[in-house]
Structure 1
Amino acid sequence: MLPMRDLSSLLTQIEGQYFERKSLWEGPPERRKTRDRRAVRDQIAEYVAAFANADGGTLVLGVEDDGTLSGHGYADEAIAVMLQVPATRLTPPQFAGARVVERGHELLLFEVPAAERAVMVQGDGFPRRVHDTVVMESEEAINAIKSRSRVEGIEMEILPSGSIETLDIDLIRRAQEGAGLGHLEPADYLCERRLADYRGRELVLRKGALLLFARQARDIDHPNVGVRIFRVNGAERLTGPRHNVQEILPRIEGALPQVIERAYHALSGLIHRSSRLHHLFFREMPEYPTFAWQEGLVNAVAHRDYRSAGQSVEVWLYEDRMEIINPGGLPPEVDLERLKQRQPLHYSRNPRLTRVLAELALMREQGEGIPRIFEEMEQSWLRLPEFRTDAHRFTLILRNQPIFETPDAEWVRYVQSLPISQRQRRILAAYPQGSSFTSADYQTLNEVDRDAAYRELKDMVDLALVSAPVHKGRGARYHVLAPPVSKPTPQQGLAARMARQGFIQNKDYREIFGINRLEASQRLGDLVVQSVLIRQGERRGTRYQAGPAWQTWLNGAQKPA
């Protein structure tokens, strides 16, 4: 049986690659009833297998979506069967769950280690965890991913002469607290994360432990574990008499969490303030969104190929862009086009390193970072991220030029206030009132395909923001209209999205109303209770269709939520 966690710290975490919570109740509060027992058992089997087929994780049952503890209403016999599902429904069998009590509520806890080989739900295939969703894979694909991680990663290699005395115990305890395992001894935490093993009474470290927790950089037997930063005076590197490259010294070396934090500090002092963005946002703005470059850096440190001893992670600061170079090409499981389409992906060359970095709050849940980088660049009116890859390295490129040359702050403020998506706002910011653009311009600016551009431009025509092309076909131009006397309302924007898609999602609501994910979720829940919307699905797959009171709400008979 795996060690129990400190649930109070665990339950404050957001759901993602390593954590999932589920309610054991269904129905509205006034008619709440226990969920079907078979459905619960099926869900346990699916999620435990999915965690085992990825990098492990924790499933807690008896918690609502908003984190409220609600316990369960089942008899002891039903609970006993549920706890045994990992042992009885999965091949090979996994650890059974446990009953735990937190703040007066009994919860069901399943701690799932990463499996060495693919785990099957009997009669239902091979699920795998990808960020906060479950996808079905083949047994061969899962085993190939696990095998590649063992072959390509050095984190599991044994350190014959390693000793826990060479590690930073305070840093280990920080990771333990983040994982909800603060009650363990540091050595036991390392074993729990498969960064060490006991051989008799002797603790044998693996290289991952040293990469993460080395007290001294010299103890890490790798010449290029850290980060190097270069400043280029211009947009291109020059050599000879015109040499224009300066390395920012000293190199940043040591335990990976400390490397990341020191690199953050160093780069924060080197990234300039943007006068062009200041004129738009009326506040100090860095030339690159902080989240975007920090996420790019931590991904490079976490996912690089540490077998490549000849190169560090490198950051190059040009006048017009930042390049973050990660030693090691993309593995076959990561598709470049899917990255560009912002689809969540989960493959880690170094799964133990990435899990600990997430527990130290230095890394976003896997699969979430790249989409967020795109969003940050979009919202800062900058060009979208670019990627360059070959067999030996992967490069993230962030450009610091806004998408417009001579921004009109008043026009941009108007565009920002419209109840439309950020992609639609970007085209209006780049092509202000009186100008025109083509579908190809929209596709290039936002990196979307022709069908997506057509749908989103039709919404803009319906909202009288642009006029439809007079002539159809290639090169047809949309003309940007002057601000209407009566600006479109958020309800109109939402109605256009509902008409086009047949449903709306949390992303649609928060884009149009300009609020965060949690607030959008709460408002959408209120609209479901009012019969304005009908909810279908769960998590990122949740969709809301028009309910009986939808049209009344749109017409303003009820106040907008």
Structure 2
Amino acid sequence: MDILNLYERVKNTIQLGESHFREFKSALEGRPDRKVPRQVKKVCEDIGEALVSFANADGGELLVGVEDNGLITGVPHSEEDIEVMLNAYKTHVHENSFLPMVNHVQLNFDGLTILFFAVSKGTSEIYQLPDGRCVRRQDKSTVPAPMNRILFERQEVKSRGFDREFVDGALSTDLDLTLVQSMADTYLRGMSVEKYIQQIGLGEYAGSGLRLRRAALLLFAKDIQRWHPRSQVRIIKVNGTELLSGEKYNVLSDEIVYGNIFELLVKSWESLRPFLAFKTEFGMDAKFEQKFIYPELACREAIVNAIAHRDYVIQNGIDVFIFDDRMEIKSPGLLLSTISLNDLLELKNVHESRNSLIAKILRENKIMRELGEGMRRIFELMEEFELSKPNISSIDNYFSVTLYHKSVYSLRENEWINLFSNFNLTNLQKKIVVLGMNDRLISPSDIYQALNTNDRNIYDREVTALRVTGILKEIRSNLEASKMARQNNKEKQAIPRFKIELPTLDNSFSSETAIFVANLPDDIDEEKLEKHFHQCGKVDRLIVPRDKHNGNRSRGFAFIWFNNQGELQSALKMSGSMISDKVLRISQYNPPKVHARRQSGKVRGRR
């Protein structure tokens, strides 16, 4: 048996540096060239605060006598003072707080004394400092944490401690030793499997051998079915927007993947990914590329969160339902009582892990973010793809994340935005452009609200860009807005100052016989489109705007002119007809009479 002694463990901890689970404290103070021992009282206060913060979070280790950069400077105090410091975990916490200590010892490194403390994550109580304050660890900092934010219900106790329970009869040979060794080499090259398991807290050496915690098996088991028969992800593809039963049963495929956590992370993504691709394109680099319904990273983040944060006490697996209009990822276990749905919806950095050991391993291997960080990234990615906000819920003993295949803009808003396609607008600029639909006048406060920011730099950047292109036109100067605000007793930012100028085609053709065609295939060509409308009459002119940055493909819409009103009316009646697999949306084109750039694209016209 390769036993990791405490000296090696502490040495490795120092090499790894401070983190969410590790903190160093100096026992010295003063100028760099005149360091003196710190007051014992102050050191004890630091020890109490650090240990309470770790116990209220995910557990951790504290080293006294080590600088922030990992330099060992030692504890030059008397043995009597050192004994006082070693007892700070009792004397400098609230009298009713009993910390779940793992270690509190004095060690000698090259003639220098350091103090090593290790504390587990609390599961049955909230820990306080002598003055009643609650603090908890967040990344590399200790932050205030009101008790009502870290109180949890009794039923959470078992699920919170489940991954840390020792499992009788489990041996290191029950683990995928190749996988564990690769993790150990990533942690510190040359470290053995047994020492790695002990170093990261997944096992402890006893007289009978290495005792494994449940987290070790969930993460690395060779045969996960033996230890947790529902360590699985089920992927169900549904034909439609609702799951039906009986004769109307509409499940197209139903696949279950099993494995330990690391296997699930790979297998579940491999099984899910094909369902997310909706087309394959020949890209600019002469390679076929898959285009996805949802942002890939958002889907992966949702799967990782489900696997890492699920309640493993519940003997159910993770379910992923893929509907035509959405994807639902359902993870066993309600949201922890210390986290609210509002915190997640407001994209706050909520740091809480039901499975603290599992989360620690995945986080330190850069596989996952904390729940709040991961959820925030999902929301950001959906917004970047201009898709509706995800929905999250915590009901019926499941936590669910739903991603929608639905544009954040309405049909009319998308058609409006398409009219500005030549300008390659950013997502934020599109939000401003939408404000100007139907000749609506726009105030600065409207823009700030649409951009969901108070940052003046962001406002200036996007507004300036739109003004330079001529899309955003100033209708009232800053001075005029100030005067109107005083007259109307309003905030100046609420005074309309801009309007949107719609780009128009040149006026060499009358718009009275023109139609706007939306939802075209991106591979449409002018000849095919003209042929589609030949039954309506003679096409006098046809423009298909194209994207020069995407293989000169169609932008999905076109403008077509006919000779007279009769032909125009016939063309309008073709709304709902199909080209390839696309249902066309057709409306009359009514451009405002303003000067703007001419739409680019191939033109087929006759004079």
TM-score (norm 2): 0.59
C-alpha contact 1:345 1:367 (8 A) present in aligned 2: yes
Alignment of 1:173 onto 2:181? yes
Which of the numbers 212, 215, 237 marks the counterpart of 2:222?
A: 215
Counting only pairs closer than 5 Å after superposition, residues 2-401 of structure 1 correspond to structure 2 as 3-4=9-10, 6=12, 10-11=16-17, 15=19, 17-19=20-22, 45-58=48-61, 69=69, 71=71, 76-77=76-77, 85=85, 87-88=87-88, 90-91=92-93, 92=98, 95-96=103-104, 112-115=119-122, 118-123=126-131, 125-131=133-139, 133-137=141-145, 144=152, 148-150=156-158, 154-177=162-185, 179-180=187-188, 183=191, 185-186=193-194, 189-191=196-198, 195-197=202-204, 200-222=207-229, 224-249=230-255, 251-272=256-277, 286-309=292-315, 311-401=316-406
After superposition, what is the alpha-carbon deviation per residue over 1:259-278, rounded to whole angstroms, capped at 9, x for unaligned? 111112222333215799x9
SS at match of 1:394: strand
Q: RMSD in angstroms over aligned alpha carbons?
A: 5.1
C-alpha distance in 2, partners of 1:291/1:271? 12
Mark the CA change 1:199 to 1:63 in structure 2 (over 3 Å): closer, same or farther: closer
CA-CA distance at 1:113 after TM superposition = 3.7
C-alpha distance in 2, partners of 1:409/1:82? 74
CA-CA distance at 1:226 after TM superposition = 0.6
SS at match of 1:155: helix
CA-CA distance at 1:335 after TM superposition = 0.6
After superposition, what is the alpha-carbon deviation per residue over 1:18-66, rounded to whole angstroms, capped at 9, x for unaligned? 3567899999xx99998995778755543333112211235679777xx
C-alpha contact 1:330 1:389 (8 A) present in aligned 2: yes
Q: Which amino acid letter does the alignment assign opposite residue 301 of structure 1? A: I
Mark the CA change 1:264 to 1:151 in structure 2 (over 3 Å): closer, same or farther: closer
Q: Which amino acid letter does the alignment assign opposite residue 403 of structure 1? A: V
CA-CA distance at 1:227 after TM superposition = 0.3
C-alpha contact 2:104 2:117 (8 A) present in aligned 1: yes
After superposition, what is the alpha-carbon deviation per residue over 1:326-348, rounded to whole angstroms, capped at 9, x for unaligned? 12222322211111011122333
C-alpha contact 1:63 1:71 (8 A) present in aligned 2: yes
Which of the numbers 408, 415, 428 marks the counterpart of 2:432?
A: 428
Greater CA radius of gyration, 1 or 2?
2
After superposition, what is the alpha-carbon deviation per residue over 1:401-432, rounded to whole angstroms, capped at 9, x for unaligned? 3323245496696653xxxxx7x556226546
Q: Which amino acid letter does the alignment assign opposite residue 319 of structure 1? A: D
C-alpha contact 2:52 2:127 (8 A) present in aligned 1: yes
CA-CA distance at 1:255 after TM superposition = 0.8
C-alpha contact 1:272 1:287 (8 A) present in aligned 2: yes
C-alpha contact 2:306 2:329 (8 A) present in aligned 1: yes
SS at match of 2:311: coil
CA-CA distance at 1:396 after TM superposition = 0.4
Mark the CA change 1:477 to 1:96 in structure 2 (over 3 Å): closer, same or farther: same
C-alpha distance in 2, partners of 1:285/1:268? 11
- Name the one with the larger strand percent: 2
After superposition, what is the alpha-carbon deviation per residue over 1:3-32, rounded to whole angstroms, capped at 9, x for unaligned? 225358724x8x5x43567899999xx999
TM-score (norm 1): 0.63
C-alpha distance in 2, partners of 1:221/1:239? 29
CA-CA distance at 1:390 after TM superposition = 0.9
SS at match of 2:396: coil
C-alpha distance in 1, partners of 2:383/2:163? 36
C-alpha contact 1:83 1:108 (8 A) present in aligned 2: no
C-alpha contact 1:167 1:210 (8 A) present in aligned 2: yes
Q: Which amino acid letter does the alignment assign opposite residue 313 of structure 1? A: I
SS at match of 2:330: strand
Gaps of 5+ in 1: 417-421, 484-561
Gaps of 5+ in 2: 1-5, 467-471, 475-480, 502-607
Q: Percent identity?
A: 24
C-alpha contact 2:388 2:408 (8 A) present in aligned 1: yes
C-alpha contact 2:14 2:70 (8 A) present in aligned 1: no
CA-CA distance at 1:201 after TM superposition = 1.5
Q: Which amino acid letter does the alignment assign opposite residue 347 of structure 1? A: E
C-alpha contact 2:441 2:499 (8 A) present in aligned 1: no
